[in-house]
Amino acid sequence: MAGTLFIITAASGTGKTSLVKELLSCTDNLSVSISHTTRQPRPGEINGTHYHFIDHASFQSLIQASEFLEYAQVFDHYYGTSKQAVIDLLAQGIDVILEIDWQGALQVKAQFDQAVMIFILPPTRQALAERLSNRGQDSQEVIKKRLAGSLDEIRQYDQFDYVVINDRFEMALDDLQTIIKSHRLTLQAQQARHAALIAALFDDTPTYP
């Protein structure tokens, strides 16, 4: 059975990373694709766990070799998703989350028509600005640049299948779980997951208690 590809996109500062981390911890048969990036690790980030951190030359080599399912430039750095890593997980019947920007989301959707696209919005512009400032990792100039970029990205929300508002963390997490669970109950998914059970229900061979 092939797994389902879930694309989760949000503007910087919306809380996407925290939501995805918690979603993975409380949902079975769900994995996240680890992206490649040319930016430097932030405090606490581990290479191979949060991202595959590589230099620009290595990233360009992977582009030339068509190794990426999608890639994009965000805030002067490149991010990309390994095509083979995603295909391998899906082939094992594992549902996969791509935590990528809107440009990458549209690139993937063009190749995986059945991908489920989810956009996470902040409750207010003020909340978004406060979350970016409260990180305490960037200068005011960087924060201002990120806020402008986030607002541009938010305008792409209407190209997605689902919209989740991250006002209260628990409610947003529950919304994400509901989306995943509902797609696991579709006709196509259930036919694949329970093929033997369904076949037995229509088997006319006599059975004896």
Is 13 annotated among the ligand-binding residues?
Answer: yes
Q: What angle do CA 27, 99, 9 make, to 5 degrees?
A: 105
Is 200 annotated among the ligand-binding residues?
Answer: no
Q: Which two tokens stand for residue 139?
A: 């200068």
Strand partners, 116: 6
- Coil, strand, or helix at residue 100? coil
Is 15 annotated among the ligand-binding residues?
Answer: yes
Is 186 annotated among the ligand-binding residues?
Answer: no
Is 38 annotated among the ligand-binding residues?
Answer: no
Contact indicator for 51, 115 with CB cutoff of 8 Å: no
Is 16 annotated among the ligand-binding residues?
Answer: yes
Element holding 149 (H helix, E strand): helix 140-154
Is 144 annotated among the ligand-binding residues?
Answer: no
Task: Give the integer Cα–Cα distance in Å for 126 and 193.
Answer: 44
Rg (CA), the chain: 19
User: 3-state SS string over 40-72?
Assistant: CCCCCCCECCCEEECCHHHHHHHHHCCCEEEEE
Is 10 annotated among the ligand-binding residues?
Answer: yes
| Annotated binding-site members for ATP | 10-17
Residue ranges of the annotated binding site are 10-17
